[in-house]
Structure 1
Amino acid sequence: MMSYYFSACSTVNYQETYISFLLEHYEHLNLPYSFQTSLGYISSPILMGKDSIIIWNAQDEPAGAIGFIHGTGDHSYEDRNIIQIQVLFLKKSSRSGRTFLRSMQFLGQYLAQINEPVTELRFWIPAQSALQKLCAKWAVKSQSQATEYGDIEEYRMDYALWHAAVMRYPHELYY
């Protein structure tokens, strides 16, 4: 089993690596938006407060990334207790249930140690049955939208319940 570690993108070099990695793998992100809109979602975690994470493999190469923002556009981003996950991506060679779980455990611990309480996580996915089945294990579908690039769905999760669920499995202490 390959080893992975995680870094919050708190420096310009890490932020550049985050953006470059996601742009390099843009066609595999399967984002149901135009490139301009997708670029906005990819970069907004950095532009709005540096909330992005790089998942590194044992060779110190990026293997995945998570980007998220505090708040929603509907409330002018003042509802900072809500975290919107903008992007979550693992390279195909790094995809496994264990790597995904460890990534969620890192994210959960990261969010638990920041100075702003989190009550809810939200994210959008392309309306695909395999993704719907996976997301239904963790979240509740709250809305659907048709776009020119396909149908998308928003999912929401109670942060405390999600955090307890991912942390009940064996995990490392990151914070």
Structure 2
Amino acid sequence: MSFEFRPCNMEMDHEAYIRFLLQHHAELNLPYPFAMKLSFISSPLMFGKGMLVIDEEPYELAAAAGFVYGTGANEYKDRHICQVEVAFIRSEYRRTSLFIRGLQALVAEMRAGNPDVVQVQFWTSADQGESDKLFSKLCALPGSMKSLVNDLTFYTVPFRELEALCHSFGSRMKLQS
């Protein structure tokens, strides 16, 4: 399978991003009312960047992700923090290789939009089941932290460590080719 990782730069990309995530909002595991989910889904288009992952054959959306520079609590002035607001891969596309390539593309977009990013953070439902293994790998990176807040888990990862992880994945994927 061949995939295109496309930043949402044009109006048609914004529309596809919003439409795709709204179609899948019940699967996002966001424990919020719909209005708040909509806020998390749309904020990357205003304060950061959205990204589409397109399966080039049959040319359909496989995934979408979005992040913001800064935090709402600090009125997005703390732009050295990059917060992932939403990330979703359709179930039929969920595999390690696509996740890694998507993470690499997302990290590259973060760096391109703000070379001064030092931290990436995100929230998940406390009960993530299948994602716990993945998140535990991120927590194993030096300087990473995991905190429980009510029914949510808050993760922070130093950007340089996440970027290094992505580079190491890239090296391994080239060796396997």
Query: Where on the TM-score scale, by shorter chain, does this alignment land: which range?
Result: 0.7 to 0.9
Q: Name the SS of the counterpart of 1:169 in structure 2.
A: helix
Measure how far apart 1:25 and its partner are: 1.0
Shift of 1:4: 1.2
Q: How many residues align?
A: 166
Of 133, 147, 155, the residue aligned with 1:143 is 147
Give the TM-score normalised by the residue count of structure 2: 0.87
Structure with higher helix content: 2
Correspondence for 1:101: 100
Measured after TM superposition, the shift of residue 141 of structure 1 is 4.0
Following the alignment from structure 2 to structure 1, what is the Cα–Cα distance between the partners of residues 62 and 85?
17
Partner of 2:134: 134
Instruction: State the match for 2:156 in structure 1.
Output: 156
Alignment of 1:2-151 (within 5 A): 2-49=1-48, 51-58=49-56, 59-128=58-127, 129-139=129-139, 140-146=144-150, 151=151
C-alpha distance in structure 1 between counterparts of 2:113 and 2:66, whole Å: 15
SS at match of 2:5: strand
Paired-residue identity, %: 33
Deviation track 1:118-148 (CA, whole Å, cap 9, x = no partner) reads: 10000001112433332121134443222xx
Scaled by the length of structure 1, the TM-score of the pair is 0.88
CA contact (8 A) 1:125 1:131 kept: no
Gaps of 5+ in 1: none
Query: What is the aligned-residue RMSD (CA, Å)?
Result: 1.7
